[in-house]
Amino acid sequence: MSLHYIIDGCNLIHHPIFAALSRGRTGDARVALAQLIREKQLCGSPNNKITIVFDGFLPEGLFDSFGKDPRVVFSGEETADERIIRMIERSACRGALVAVSDDKQIRIFARGQRAKAMSAEEFFSRGQGQKKQQRESAEEKISYGEMEKINRELRRLWLKE
């Protein structure tokens, strides 16, 4: 089952981890966030749907050449938090939603609606953690002979052979 990530864009842009990850990028921070999410695959599978919600109105030409993934939404007259809550309420499949925000109100509301909730730090560290875990698992491979030795030792200890 694919997930739908609804991301509080302003919340993530103002997070210190974003500043570190986007160092060296030029241009609008909102575009940089969308590019970072896409490039680092922070939402996991490419089958997962991504919606980034920002406050206000779409500046003319800002996302013209960006494409459709991730989808970027501007909240207009309402706040981004209100738009995110409304999106969660209107979803037919709340169990597949992941609300990404540091706002407690959004995370509590999402969990109350049986959606998942994730802080900005958890979200940013997911991509780094997956790569680190893959590297560690590749480094920790043991030979068949070592496995047999471990199994014999465990059998001796547990079964008192």
Q: What is the pLDDT of residue 150?
A: 84
Q: What is the pLDDT of residue 133?
A: 47
- Domain definitions of the chain by residue range: 4-159
Q: Look over the chain and give the mean of its residue pLDDT values, rounded to a whole number.
A: 86
The owner of tokens 């992941």 is: 98
**DSSP letter for each residue of 35-50:** HHHHHTTTTSSTTSEE
CA distance 22 to 26: 9
User: Model confidence over 83-120: pLDDT tens digits?
Assistant: 999 999 999 999 999 999 999 999 999 999 999 999 99
**Maximum average pLDDT range among 23-27, 83-87, 127-131:** 83-87
CA distance 137 to 130: 11
pLDDT of 78 strictly over 90: yes
Residue from 110, 96, 68 nearest 2 by CA = 96
Q: Is the peptide bond before 59 cis (omega within 30 degrees of 0)?
A: no
pTM above 0.85, yes or no: no
Q: In the CATH hierarchy, which fold is given to the domain comprising 4-159?
A: Rossmann fold (3.40.50)
Pair type for strands 97-100 and 49-54: unpaired
